[in-house]
Each structure stands twice: as C-alpha cells, then as structure tokens.
A and B are shown apart, each in its own frame.
Chain A
Amino acid sequence: MTGLLYTEKFGEIDEKTGKVRSQLYVCSDPDDGMHIAGIRHEPVKGDPRNPLGRTKVGTDLVAYWKLFFTTLFPNEQLQTTGVK
C-alpha cells in the first residue's frame, strides 16, 4: 500500500475576505486515529504510507499529488518526466 489517506473538510474563515470557505485536509498521520475495518492503522517510522502528515490541500487537488510524489518518489519523477 502506497498511501492510506483520510480526507476531512472544514469551514474556515478566509483572512482576506472574512468569508467562510471549505478547506480540504488530507491526513496520513498516526495521531489522527485512523481505523480501517476496525483495525488501527499503525505506521512504521519511514513507512511511505505516512509521509506527509496532515496536509492542507486547498482547491488545487492536482498540486497535492505533485507534492506527494515529488516528496516520496523524486527519482521516479525524474524518470517519468525526463527533465532536470
């Protein structure tokens, strides 16, 4: 398993506009109390399933995956894109 990711959404006040905006978080943090089918997910240090912790995603969902893969698999990125 590469990633076991839990999504949460909260309304947060935008400091610029003062309006409430939905904000997405993706969690893969051992402190988040994640359970799958009644089994507590216990990550091992360095386990790639839990690399980023709780990440504020915002509206750019594609950017989350870019962050995920460039953080975890930088060499694979180089091979895929073939760019410096």
Chain B
Amino acid sequence: MPAGFHTVTDAPKPKRFILYGPPKTVKTPLALAYGAYLRSLNPNSRTLYVAADRGSEDLPSLPDPSWREWIDVWKFSSPLDKDYDPYKDAVQVAMTDWKAKDANYDLIIWDTFAITLEQILQYISDKEFFAGQGGSKHVSFGDPTLPKGHPAKLNIPMPGDYNGVNPDLP
C-alpha cells in the first residue's frame, strides 16, 4: 500500500435519494450539486438528467452554467408526439444500463418522478384501458377479500378517480 493511504473497508455502493418539498425550495439545484460533488471526486464524472417536468430540459435551475458540460439531458416524448407512451418511456429509461453507454455516468437525476407518474396515470385514463369494465369497477391486484387500503391489495385507478368526465354521458 502506498504511504499515506488508508485501508479501505467499504466499496462504494449505489445510492438512492428522494428529494421532496414545496415548489421553489432548491430541489433541482441541490440534486445537480450532487453531480458537482461527484465531479470534485472524479473529474470525468457525468450526470444524466431525466427531464420529466415541462421545460426542465433547458435546465433553468442550473446553479452554475459551467456545470452544463458534464450534464446530459434525456427528454421524454410529449402528448403531442406520435406513439406517445409515458409508461414505455419511463421503463426504457429505468431499464437502460447507462454505465454501459458511458462508464462516466455516476448519477441519474429524475426530475420529477411525480410528474412521470402523473403522466402515466393520465395516459391510462385517456386510453380508457378499463373501458370494458364499464368505468365503474376497479381492476384490483392482490387478495380481493382484503379491505380497501390494505397494502396487499391494489386498485388500479380509473378515470372517475380523477374526476374524469365521460363525454358519452348525457
């Protein structure tokens, strides 16, 4: 071992964070600063920024313009695009081996995951996946005998859960 080096006992492990809070509480800059911190340890470190929020692909919350060079932006398709499918988009990003694409990727920021989930739920409603259910029954996973709200029973949302209006009704 070279002189001056300590014995290392812990290999670096993947880290996962959720940042949450009211609007305009510096969540995105704080997440990007994590990338800057990693960059201070490894000058080649890069960050993948998954831009789910509308307009976030332009990185308006970037604390330091010089950071832009080590940030790659992934932009989702929009509802106006042909073959728009936010679920497919999200799975594609989540299942991609980004390290294989660029070994310098040390951080993925998903900004924001809540928007992605909203888009997926809206997409499900818009596509009327449950139209065959008459729109009045939930599709459930898990044990149907369990009471409503039990963690082992999951009801898939339907348009009515979001105050969706059925245009066919008089």
Contacts and interface: CB of A to CB of B under 8 A. Distances in A.
A4 B27 CA distance: 12
A61 B39 CA distance: 13
B35 to A, nearest CB: 9
A44 interface: no
Nearest to A84: B4
Interface string B119-159: 00000000000000000000000000000000000000000
A62 B8 CA distance: 24
B5 A82 contact: yes
A26 B16 contact: no
A8 B33 CA distance: 16
Interface stretch (B18-26, B71-79, B160-168): B18-26
B12 interface: yes
Chain A interface residue number, banded:
20 to 34
A78 B30 contact: no
Contacts of B10: 73, 75-76, 79
Interface string A49-84: 000000001000110111001000101111111111
Contacts of A79: 8, 10-12
A61 B63 CA distance: 9
A47 to B, nearest CB: 14
Interface of B: 4-6, 8-13, 15-22, 24-27, 29-30, 32-34, 36-37, 40-42, 63
